[in-house]
A and B are shown apart, each in its own frame.
Chain A
Amino acid sequence: DTEVTQTPKHLVMGMTNKKSLKCEQHMGHRAMYWYKQKAKKPPELMFVYSYEKLSINESVPSRFSPECPNSSLLNLHLHALQPEDSALYLCASSQRPGTGNTIYFGEGSWLTVV
C-alpha cells in the first residue's frame, strides 16, 4: 500500500473561517510534508515533519498552522486566509527526510478562499 490519503478533496471557505486539511499514511513513513501548488506551477514546499517534529518551515504565514498528532497523521489548520491562498494543497510522505527515499504524494485538497 503506497497511499497517502487527503481529506477533504475540495474545500471552500470564507476569509474569517477556521478549517483543517487532513492527511494520513499507513506506510510507516517518518517524514511528512505539506506542499502548495498554484495552477501550472510546480509544488512549493511549506512544512516538513520528521519523526513527528517540525523540521522545516519555509517562512509560511502564521495563518497556516501544521500539526502532527502521530506518525500517521498530518493536519494543516487554516485561519483568516486570503483569496491568494486558493490552491491545491498536497501532502506527501517518505521513509525519512531526503536522501534516497521515494516521496509519495496524496491526491491533494483543492482550497478556494472566497
Chain B
Amino acid sequence: KQEVTQIPAALSVPEGENLVLNCSFTDSAIYNLQWFRQDPGKGLTSLLLIQSSQREQTSGRLNASLDKSSGRSTLYIAASQPGDSATYLCAVISRGSARQLTFGSGTQLTVLP
C-alpha cells in the first residue's frame, strides 16, 4: 500500500529565503505526482504536476523535482513571500491504487515578513 510522507510537518522562514519542501513515497510505481497548496479553511490549489517520466516542472518561483527510483520529490520555492504561507500537500497516483490520489499529511509553511 502506497504511503506518502512529508517532512517537516511545519516550517517557518523569514521573507526572501529560498526553501525546499520534501515528499517521499514508498512505492515507486506511480503515474504522476502533484503538489497542492491549501490556505486555511479553503480548497486545494494545484501547483505542479510531474508525470512519472519527467524529472522536474517549473512554474514561476516554484520548481518541483521527481526522483521516482528513490521515491522522492521536492518543491523548491524561490524568494519566499508572506503570501506563500499555506499548507503544501503532495499526492501521488499509484499503479496499484485504482489510479487515485494518495496524499501526504502536508507541510505548514509560514513566511515571516
Contacts and interface: CB of A to CB of B under 8 A. Distances in A.
Interface bin, chain A: 20 to 34
B32 A99 contact: yes
Interface residues of B, number: 23
B100 A48 contact: yes
Interface in B58-105: 89, 91, 93, 98-101, 103-105
Contact of A98 (B41, B49, B93): B93
A8 interface: no
B99 A98 contact: yes
B59 to A, nearest CB: 12
B104 A45 contact: no
Nearest to B100: A45
A102 B45 contact: no
Interface in A96-114: 97-100, 102-108, 110
Interface of B: 31-32, 34, 36, 41-46, 49, 51, 89, 91, 93, 98-101, 103-106
Interface in A27-56: 41-43, 45, 48, 56
A90 B38 CA distance: 12
B42 A98 contact: no
A42 B31 contact: no
Given A102-B34, A104-B46, A43 B51 contact: no
21 contacts: A41-B105, A42-B89, A42-B105, A42-B106, A43-B101, A45-B100, A56-B98, A56-B100, A90-B44, A92-B44, A97-B99, A98-B98, A98-B99, A99-B31, A99-B93, A100-B32, A100-B49, A103-B101, A105-B43, A105-B44, A105-B46
Given A42-B105, A99-B31, A106 B100 contact: no
A110 B43 contact: no
B102 to A, nearest CB: 9
Nearest to B45: A105
B34 A103 contact: yes
